[in-house]
Amino acid sequence: MQSSSSIITGICKLEVSCKKDGFKGAWYSAIQREHSHGNLFRVTYTTLRKEDGLTPLTEFVDQSLVRPVPPKDLNDKGSVFQEGSVVDAYAKGGWWTGLVLKRKEEGYTDTDTYLVLMDSPPDVIQFERKKLRAHLDWTDGRWVRPENKGLIKSAFSPGTMVEVEEPDTDWRPAMIIKEVENGKSFIVKYFDHKSCSFREGSGNVIVDSREVKPRQPLVSVADYDVLDQVEALAGLKWRQRVVRGVIYKGLRYMVSSKDSKVASQFSVSDLRPPMEWKDGIWQNRSPKPKETRSKSGIFGKCYTRKRRRGGGEEHNPDLSDTVLSSDRTLTVVNNSTANVEDTRKVLPFAKKSPIWKAYEAMDVFKTLPQNPHFSPLSETKEDFREGSALGMMATFSGLLENFKDLETDVTKSQLDTMKDSFTELEQHGFDVERPLLRIEKLLAFKDRQVSILKEREGFEKEMMVESSKKRKAEQEFSDIERKMLEVKQEILKLQWQEAALREEKEVAKEEKDAAYKNICERESCGRELSAELEDVEFDFETILSAPW
């Protein structure tokens, strides 16, 4: 089998694990620069930057922290992860190992998303499918996929929805992240019940186990009656409230806290009956005594007309209380009798202005019929009530017209202001459910738009960095080409010099050979002359020594 080091040495792209605090357990994409001495690699990260935020981080890492990039054919983007699947989730520029807790139910979002339990640090994070991949271990030079882990299901297991008790017996939806101190406390993350997602920027919180209970089960309630005790989802918490009036029976109610006469309108979906978690089961909370209502009524001074049998009407000022019923009439409640009079709702002012007919003829009020009760105006001076009501009618129609004229560059603050205006009109009985729903969708689109713009800005910055690198590389390339040309010219010049020297060498060699030849010839002549000289000298001596 081929060793892992030899496989890694022969590749360029790889992944590197980091042991530094805040980065442990994550794998980061990198490019191998060179294999240093021993077991060290010099790598450049593709997603991590130096302190300047622009220059890619380069460092030496041990061979044990390096592996190839996982094969794409084992990470099909179209596959669906099951609960308990071990996955890698892309966050903060790296791939972190986690465990799939659940796939988000349809209707929560337009994309396929998963809740993933992260171990280090402990957290539950929502990821889109495109940011997940199957976890693979690099072992003995090959990829191994671990088996799925069985999730332990309990009332307080990780990923379970619970409610956390807060001051004033309020309960806040949250999700269990991890059990600590042998069950004495839990790490939880607060959850937005309405949007079915975590609040942006929400962190983990450690809470005492005595302050945690399972999520209260959904209980079907046909309708609530006046002074019924309920829990209302106000903001992010379930708060104890009392029903003060009925707007649409089974749909909308006016509720307030026990000691307050200021009521707010709630949809039935944001109300639930009080229950308590006791001995491991949910039990209905014992009803508390209903409150005694004051003569002034819950919404302040009330105006009623009691219908006579003969068809006439008379004003009855001696009523203990009035509340709105589901058919948009005022139901008279008398402390001394349980009989309910046949009454009709009237506005806290008389319609005198001819402008009302003009409003009723407008297309906007035909498309979205309105029947506001203007109950809060009973707290203002009588002379201002009709004018205020007309102003609200104009505001409502104007808001709808402005809504149609919105452009894609509308800001979130403008949408929030429009949302607040519709919410204020809702307190006066306007049906603003559809406009508010559209505004919520637009706000969600704006969040996505801001996210895309930030992402594009990041890409543009990366493009600037890469463009700068490209310009630098082009300059270096040009410099190297210029130097290579200079070297070639020097080489040609030296070649020319070499050719000239070769010619000079040949001439010198010929001269050297000719001189050597001449020397040899002269040495031969010298030897011949020496021999001849010896012969002359011998003959000379012979003549001298001859006898007479």
Separation of first and last alpha carbons in the chain: 115
Distance CA 59, CA 34 (A): 11
Residue 467: which H helix or E strand, with range? helix 433-545
Question: Residue 233 has which token pair?
Answer: 């989802």
Q: Is pLDDT at 6 greater than 60 in this prediction?
A: no
Question: Residue 57 has which token pair?
Answer: 């981080």
Q: How far is CA 533 from CA 366, 529, 537, in A?
A: 153, 6, 6
Cβ(361)–Cβ(393) below 8 Å: no
- Under the banding of pLDDT at 50, 70 and 90, the label for residue 195 is low
Prediction pTM value? 0.46
Cβ(324)–Cβ(372) below 8 Å: no
- At 430 the pLDDT is 92
- At 480 the pLDDT is 93
- At 420 the pLDDT is 92
Within 8 A by CB and 6+ apart from 277, the residues are 213, 214, 216, 283
Distance CA 332, CA 321 (A): 6
Cβ(215)–Cβ(194) below 8 Å: no
- At 299 the pLDDT is 35
Distance CA 378, CA 263 (A): 14
- For residue 450, how many C-alpha atoms fall within 13 Å in the half-sphere facing its CB? 8
pLDDT tens-digit readout, 262-315: 888 888 888 888 888 887 788 777 554 444 333 333 333 333 333 333 333 333
Q: What angle (nearest 5°) sits at the alpha carbon of residue 290, between those of residues 285 and 294?
A: 155
Cβ(174)–Cβ(189) below 8 Å: yes
The angle, 0 to 180 degrees and rounded to 10, between the axes of the packed helices 382-404 and 433-545 is 40
Identify the CATH class of 85-214: mainly beta
Q: Is pLDDT at 11 greater than 90 in this prediction?
A: no
- At 345 the pLDDT is 52
Q: Is pLDDT at 522 greater than 90 in this prediction?
A: no
Cβ(215)–Cβ(149) below 8 Å: no
Question: Residue 184 has which token pair?
Answer: 């004495």
Within 8 A by CB and 6+ apart from 282, the residues are 216, 217, 275, 276
